[in-house]
Each structure stands twice: as structure tokens, then as C-alpha cells.
């Protein structure tokens, strides 16, 4: 079948371990392992007791079945298209300037309990995976230049500058949808009453932000695990590892918290390792250290941004006594590896193209491979056509 041949092609594109297998699943007879990959799979068969014997024996309309089947089909051509070339650093800088050119004001709010409160300025750019944030941005609408009918004509009055407001709602990966409901019933009606037809609401999810929104943070975008209030009060007492990476362009630069293990290090990116001391170092008076780890294959232009993220975002409010130390790959000390659980093999970046068995190592901004069990399922659906 076409679906199974497609999966076989994907399976053979790169070299996989022996335990990577292809399973075939039939609709209505799926295995428990296949069902466990989907959240909320309902095993209960619904029964409609209101139907009569005549409606049960009625033959279904084939046109309705074919229409539903066509709606469920997906276009898989994007899997075999060539990857778009990444945006150059100069183009990213120009795009960032263009996106911030018309920005006049930006106010940020965070959901605490059931209410949105103003986010402190010192926490601007710090996000938590279990929280929701709202950003109110006011943009200037530049008037269109009209051609002068006669030479030497001067306008007596300059046109007033118009504006528009965009509200960005950011939802963390582990946050519930209650934040969106609170926003639609609390803040959004107030904004609509104030700005009326000049308001636009954009809902975004973690690591799915658009370029316009990311450009306002100027590459200082930190995503931490947990909840803001709980992490601020009880967190910070254990080591934390952050990875800074960008997809497509440097505008999409994000620093994301990952597992504090050595196998999370990647030579193509920069990492920040925050280590609090159990006791204050009497010789220096420091309560901890933040290592800025530079991968050997990372872009040197990103090193300065890594230092800024480490000093402005990774260092907490009460981390004034933390020192920041830069470490190049291969020059780590014993304390660095001890906190990460020992030196291990680091991840490789593999580029997967539409040509079979074609990949380069290492490459940036592509697929991360890790030695985990890989299973590919094929689900087949029988359809009737006329």
C-alpha cells in the first residue's frame, strides 16, 4: 500500500539501529502500544439507544463516507521538499530592525491565580512552561505618502499618526487552557472597549512564536520549566542547564531549559550551566557560578548574546553573588562534569533531506538524534469509492 511504502522510504533514509522496526496497524484493531501514544484514547464504544431498527438497517450514503475520507487526508509532500536556506545574520538584523521600527509601547502581564497582573520589568523575557503571558503592543501606522500635484506645494497640516494594538497571548507547553479562558473573559473585553476596531489578538504557543513577536526581545528569550511563583520561591537551589539555539534565523533565538545531563550538550550551540553552592565560598564570597559553555561548532557571533542571556536572564534576582565564567568546549573543569553526572557522548546534529541516505554531520538547526527506542507505526484505513 502507498502508506506503508512511504513509511519504508522514511525508515531507510538514514541509518537506524536494529531495534527500530515498522509496525502495521489496522483501524479498529490497534495494539495497546499504539493506543498509548495518543492522549485520551476512548476505549468505550458509544451506543445510541434512541435509534430505531429501521435507522440501523438503513444503508449509509457513500457520498458522505467519501467526503469524510477526503477531509481526513493530509498532504505529505512537505516531508520530501528541500529545506529552505537559513536566513543570514545580516538579513536577520535587518528583519529585527524592521519589526521594531513601528513599535511604540509594550506592556506585559502574567497570570497569577485567576487574574492577570503586570509583569515586573526585570522579568521581561523570562517565561515558564506552566504559565500564560499577555503582551500588549502598540504599533504606529505610518501614513501613505501622496504625490504632490504641483511643485512647491507644502502641506499646511501634517496628518495625525494613527496606531494599532496587537495583543499577544503566550501559552506555555505545560499550561492549561484556563489561562486563555481567563483572558477572553477578563482582559480581552477591556481591551476591545478601549481600542475597539484597532485591536488584534494573536494566540501563540511555546516555541511557535512568530518573527514579529520574537524580534521585540532582541534574542533574550528564556524558557524555564515549572511555574513562575513556585519556582521563584522554592527553586534555584539545584543546578540548571539551558541551551541557546535558533531555527532558521537568529531572530528566533531562544534559550530553553533542558535536562541537567552531559548528553544534552551539543557542539553547535551555546549552553548556560547555573550551579548554586551549598555554602558561600569564603575566599571569593560567591554563592554560585554560571558557566557559559561555547560549543566548538557554534557561531562566534552568538557568544556575546549567550553572555548577555547568562547575566540578564539566567542569573536570578537573588544571584548577585554568582560569578559568570566562560568555558570553551574541551576546557571544562571537574566541577562542570560532576554537576552534569560525568562526561558522556554529546549529541550530533543530522540533516535529513529528501535524498535517501543523504545526511551531513554535524549540521545546525536540524534534527537531534539520541539513542532511544524508535518505533514507526502505519495505520491503514479502508475506504469505498464509486
Write down all domains in the chain, each with its CATH number in brackets: 1-38+347-386 (no CATH), 88-141+161-219 (3.40.20.10), 236-341 (3.40.20.10)
Query: Do the Cβ atoms of 155 and 122 come closer than 8 Å?
Result: no
* Arithmetic mean of pLDDT, 151-166: 66
Share of the chain above pLDDT 70, in %: 74
Q: How confident is the model at residue 44 (pLDDT cuts 50, 70, 90)?
A: low
pTM: 0.68
Segment 55-70 shows an average pLDDT of: 65
**Poorest-pLDDT segment among 175-184, 204-213, 293-302, 351-360:** 351-360
Grade residue 6 by pLDDT with cuts at 50, 70 and 90.
Answer: confident
Per-residue pLDDT at 378: 47
The answer to whether 319 and 333 have CB atoms below 8 angstroms apart is no
Contact 225, 175 (CB under 8 A): no
- Residue range 362-378: mean pLDDT, rounded: 42
| Mean pLDDT value across residues 67-86 | 73
Q: Which helix (H) or strand (E) holds 231?
A: helix 228-234
Arithmetic mean of pLDDT, 183-189: 90
Q: Which residue did the predictor score with more confidence, 346 or 205?
A: 205
Asked if residue 293 lies in contact with residue 329, where contact means CB atoms within 8 angstroms, the answer is yes
Q: For the chain, give the percent of residues with pLDDT over 90.
A: 29
pLDDT score, position 379? 47
Q: Is the pLDDT of residue 197 over 70?
A: yes
Question: What value does the mean pLDDT take over residues 345-369?
Answer: 41
pLDDT of residue 19: 80
pLDDT value of position 365: 37
Has residue 277 got a pLDDT over 60? yes
pLDDT in the model for residue 229 = 79
CA 255 to chain centre: 10
- Looking at residue 138, its pLDDT comes to 93
Q: Which residues contact 329 (CB under 8 A, 6 or more apart)?
A: 267, 293, 294, 295, 296
Residue of 179 and 382 predicted with greater confidence: 179
Residue 269 CB coordination number (10 Å):
24
* Span 272-299, average pLDDT: 84
Reported as a pLDDT band with limits 50, 70 and 90, residue 385 is very low
Q: What is the pLDDT of residue 84?
A: 76
pLDDT band at 362 (very low <50, low <70, confident <90, very high): very low
pLDDT at position 70, please?
A: 67
In this predicted model, what pLDDT tens digit does every residue of 331-342 receive, in sequence order?
998 989 999 988
Total Cβ atoms within 10 A of residue 326: 15
Between 52 and 259, name the one with better pLDDT.
259
Q: Which residue has the higher pLDDT, 346 or 22?
A: 22
How remote is the C-alpha of 378 from its chain's centroid? 27
Q: Please give the average per-residue pLDDT across 57-68, as a whole number.
A: 66
What backbone torsions phi and psi does residue 111 show, to the nearest 5 degrees?
A: -85, 120
On average, the pLDDT of the chain sits at: 79
pLDDT of 174 reads: 92
d(C-alpha 136, C-alpha 167), whole Å:
5
pLDDT at 278: 79
Q: Which stretch of 173-187, 263-277, 365-379 has the lowest confidence by average pLDDT?
A: 365-379
Amino acid at each position: 500500500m502507498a502508506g506503508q511504502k512511504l513509511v519504508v522510504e522514511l525508515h531507510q533514509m538514514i541509518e537506524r539501529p536494529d531495534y527500530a522496526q515498522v509496525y502495521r496497524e489496522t483501524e479498529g484493531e490497534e495494539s495497546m502500544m499504539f493506543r498509548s501514544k495518543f492522549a485520551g484514547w476512548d476505549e468505550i464504544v458509544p451506543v445510541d439507544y434512541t435509534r430505531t431498527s429501521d435507522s440501523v438497517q438503513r444503508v449509509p450514503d457513500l457520498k458522505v463516507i467519501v467526503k469524510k475520507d477526503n477531509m481526513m487526508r493530509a498532504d505529505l509532500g512537505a516531508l520530501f521538499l528541500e529545506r529552505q536556506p537559513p536566513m543570514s545574520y545580516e538579513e536577520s538584523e535587518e528583519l529585527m530592525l524592521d519589526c521594531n521600527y513601528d513599535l511604540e509601547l509594550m506592556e506585559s502581564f502574567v497570570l497569577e491565580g485567576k487574574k492577570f497582573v503586570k509583569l515586573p520589568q526585570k522579568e521581561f523575557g523570562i517565561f515558564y512552561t506552566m504559565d500564560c503571558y499577555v503582551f500588549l503592543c502598540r504599533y504606529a501606522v505610518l501614513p501613505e505618502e501622496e504625490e504632490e500635484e504641483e511643485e512647491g506645494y507644502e502641506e499646511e497640516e501634517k496628518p495625525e499618526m494613527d496606531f494599532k494594538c496587537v495583543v499577544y497571548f503566550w501559552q506555555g507547553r505545560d499550561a492549561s487552557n484556563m489561562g486563555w479562558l481567563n483572558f477572553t473573559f477578563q482582559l480581552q473585553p477591556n481591551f476591545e472597549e478601549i481600542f475597539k476596531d484597532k485591536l488584534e489578538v494573536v494566540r501563540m504557543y511555546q516555541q511557535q512564536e512568530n518573527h514579529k513577536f520574537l524580534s521585540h526581545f532582541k534574542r533574550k528569550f528564556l524558557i524555564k520549566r515549572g511555574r513562575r511563583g513556585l519556582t521563584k520561591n522554592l527553586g534555584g537551589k539545584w543546578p540548571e542547564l539551558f541551551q541557546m539555539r535558533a531555527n532558521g534565523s537568529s531572530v528566533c533565538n531562544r534559550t530553553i531549559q533542558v535536562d541537567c545531563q552531559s548528553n544534552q550538550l551539543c557542539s553547535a550551540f551555546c549552553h548556560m550551566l547555573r550551579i548554586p553552592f551549598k555554602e558561600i565560598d569564603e575566599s571569593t564570597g560567591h554563592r554560585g557560578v554560571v558557566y557559559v559553555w561555547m560549543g566548538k561548532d557554534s557561531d562566534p557571533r552568538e557568544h556575546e548574546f549567550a553572555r548577555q542571556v547568562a547575566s540578564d536572564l539566567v542569573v536570578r534576582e537573588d544571584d548577585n553573588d554568582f560569578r559568570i565564567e566562560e568555558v570553551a568546549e574541551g576546557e571544562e573543569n571537574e566541577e562542570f562534569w560532576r554537576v552534569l553526572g560525568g562526561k558522556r557522548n554529546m549529541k550530533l546534529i543530522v540533516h535529513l533531506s529528501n535524498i535517501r541516505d543523504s545526511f551531513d554531520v554535524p549540521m545546525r538547526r536540524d534534527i537531534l538524534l539520541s539513542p532511544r527506542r524508535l518505533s514507526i507505526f502505519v495505520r491503514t484505513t479502508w475506504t469505498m469509492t464509486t
